[in-house]
Each structure stands twice: as C-alpha cells, then as structure tokens.
Amino acid sequence: MTSLEDLISTWAAKFRTHPDGSRLPAHHAACLGCGENNPHGHHLRVHREGDGVVARHTFDERHVGAPGIAHGGAVAAVVDDFYGFLLYLTDGPAVTRNLVLDYLAPVLLGVEYELRANITRTEGRKLFVEATMSEVATSRRVVCSTALFLKVDVGHFLQGEPTGSFGQGSGQ
Ligand SMILES: CCCCC/C=C\C/C=C\C/C=C\C/C=C\CCCC(=O)SCCNC(=O)CCNC(=O)[C@H](O)C(C)(C)COP(=O)(O)OP(=O)(O)OC[C@H]1O[C@@H](n2cnc3c(N)ncnc32)[C@H](O)[C@@H]1OP(=O)(O)O
C-alpha cells in the first residue's frame, strides 16, 4: 500500500513546469477522476493548452443515470477532477471549496466530449476557475461550470489515510 508520505512526495514533484501541449500527470494512481488503477475511475487524460487544460472524455455504463445518459454526479466528479489539473499550472495544491455546474443538455453515454478549463482570477489563496464540456462531433456545449479552489498546505492531506490496494502505480 502506498503511504501518505509517498503520495505527498510524488504530488510535490508534479508541481514542475509542464510544457505547452504536454500530458499532465494524474493526481495519484487511485484517483477517481484520473488514476490508472481505479476500476471505478474515469481515467481522465489531460493536456496543457496555453494557460488552460483540455481533455477528451467518453462516459460509459458505469456512469449511467437515466438510461443512456450520464449521472449528473459522475459528470460533476469529472469536471471537479479536471479542474485539479489546472493546479499544475500554479505554484501548489488547492482543493475545491465551491463547484457549480449548469447541465445545459444531457451528457450521453458513448459520446465523446471535449473539456476545457482555465483560471479566470486569483486572489490570495483563492483560484476562480471555469470549464466547459462540448460534444466533439457537433461542438454543442452540454455543461458549463465555475468553481472556487482554495490553496492548502500539505497538512490538509494528512487528514486522511490511503486505503485499498489499487493505490500503487506511477500515477502518470
Ligand atoms: C506540495 C505537497 C502537496 C501535498 C499533497 C499530497 C497529496 C495529495 C494527493 C492527492 C490529491 C488528489 C486530488 C486533488 C486534486 C484534484 C481533485 C479535485 C478536487 C477535489 O476533489 S478536492 C476535494 C473536495 N474538497 C474538499 O474536501 C475541501 C473541504 N474543505 C476544506 O477543507 C476547507 O473548507 C478549506 C481548507 C478548503 C478552506 O477552509 P479555510 O478555513 O482555510 O477557508 P475559509 O473558510 O477561511 O475561506 C477562505 C476564504 O475563501 C472565501 N470563500 C469561501 N467560500 C467561498 C465561496 N463559495 N465564494 C467566495 N469566497 C469564498 C472565504 O470568505 C475566505 O475569504 P477571505 O480569506 O478573503 O476572508
């Protein structure tokens, strides 16, 4: 099992300069949004684009709400985790304090969507961010979102203990 200290040292190393266009590292291997080893996870793959981040994502049967339509909570989880990649373009970790989603149209299972996010404003510890999700084939926007992240120090993450067995891996 990965110790919390291991996780923290891996995380700290991820706050390096990431060249434009490069793939950004997963938060950790078991992360619900992007961890390679989480069988219930979304396995997000996110790239830097300028001062923002971009990803393509397709929901599947594991994320079903109404038949054929992604559960709104699953969509929110993806958007929240996606915002977590913007943190790599800042000087350190932060956590979601406030997350707002407008579900403009159903997010369909098996349909590819493009996510885009950027930081709109910073104010002390506060990072104000915004994101959109649009269908790749039609460019139709299905979600728009804003959120507030608050910078935290390492002690914040010492409030939990890693559990389970799929936390091991590169986290890349
Ligand atoms: C370098 C080493 C790093 C170590 C890291 C180690 C391991 C990490 C491993 C993995 C991490 C994995 C993933 C993380 C990345 C992304 C995943 C997606 C993101 C998430 O899934 S993350 C989870 C969900 N998230 C939480 O679990 C947070 C729970 N929460 C808290 O832990 C506290 O809530 C906290 C600490 C956030 C703040 O607590 P606090 O006490 O410090 O803050 P406070 O209340 O004082 O507010 C401060 C100022 O924000 C203003 N403010 C507040 N709310 C506002 C609003 N709605 N609008 C406008 N302003 C607002 C106030 O008005 C005040 O403003 P002012 O300072 O000007 O007065």
Whole-prediction pTM: 0.93
Mutate to test the pocket of ligand 1, among 3, 91, 95 (most ligand atoms within 8 A of CB): 95
> What spacing in Å lies between the alpha carbon of 95 and ligand 1's midpoint?
4
In the chain, the DSSP E strands lie at 46-49, 52-58, 94-103, 112-123, 126-135, 141-151
What tens digit of pLDDT does each residue of 12-37 get? 788 888 999 999 999 999 999 999 99
Domain boundaries, the chain: 4-159
Strand partners, 129: 119, 147
Specify the length of the chain in residues. 172
Q: What is the ipTM, given to two decimal places?
A: 0.92
CATH number of 4-159: 3.10.129.10
Q: How far apart, in whole angstroms, are the C-alpha atoms of residue 2 and residue 127?
A: 29
What tens digit of pLDDT does each residue of 129-156 get? 999 999 999 999 999 999 999 999 988 9
